[in-house]
């Protein structure tokens, strides 16, 4: 597993561009909120650390991970952010529901990235068990929310350089 070799919260802060002019939308799944709320905190803390103003961070919650793509599209259309981060957690169970949700949200996020001229960041944990999720939501493997915030800033910077 990739996170066994690198902590999700470890990065060189000097490699992150100034984000003081950014507007960022964050969609958070309510399902598995014991995981998604720490992911949200990590994302917000990291965005603010790199200059994003609190009033330029738009947070909205959706019932579950599958609903993230619709929520992210609405966020992009209505709030017009520079990037959208989606945060969710799907834990494998005894039915194929895990596969359907993961496939749907992955394909939906890919389509959003192709449809809009802003980056949509995939911050969905897809784990075999709850402990793996805990480990990636501020546990021993860091916080995926931190990584998503850094990715949003870097991708926005890349888009700006192309303009």
Q: Are 54 and 88 in contact (CB under 8 A)?
A: no
| Distance spanning both ends of the chain, measured CA to CA | 36
Q: Are 81 and 25 in contact (CB under 8 A)?
A: yes
**Distance of CA 115 to CAs 28, 32, 76, 100, 119, Å?**
21, 29, 11, 22, 10
As beta bridge partners, residue 57 has 24
Q: Are 25 and 76 in contact (CB under 8 A)?
A: yes
Q: Are 51 and 19 in contact (CB under 8 A)?
A: yes
State the catalytic residue, choosing from 50, 97, 141, 156.
97
Going by the DSSP 8-state scheme, the letter that residue 82 receives in this structure is S
Distance CA 92, CA 155 (A): 30
Asked if 97 is an active-site residue, the reply is yes
Active site residues: 97
């Amino acid at each position: 597993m990739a996170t066994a070799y690198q902590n999700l919260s470890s990065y060189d802060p000097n490699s992150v561009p100034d984000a003081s002019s950014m507007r960022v939308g964050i969609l958070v799944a309510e399902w598995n909120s014991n995981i998604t709320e720490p992911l949200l905190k990590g994302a917000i803390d990291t965005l603010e650390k790199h200059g994003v103003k609190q009033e330029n961070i738009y947070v909205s919650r959706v019932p579950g991970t599958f609903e993230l793509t619709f929520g992210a599209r609405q966020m992009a259309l209505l709030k017009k952010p520079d990037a959208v981060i989606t945060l969710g957690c799907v834990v494998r169970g005894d039915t194929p529901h895990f596969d359907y949700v993961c496939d749907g949200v992955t394909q939906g996020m890919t389509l959003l990235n192709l449809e809009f001229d802003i980056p949509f960041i995939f911050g969905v944990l897809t784990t075999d068990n709850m402990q793996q999720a805990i480990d990636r939501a501020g546990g021993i493997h860091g916080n995926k929310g931190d990584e998503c915030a850094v990715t949003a800033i870097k991708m926005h910077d890349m888009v700006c350089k192309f303009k």
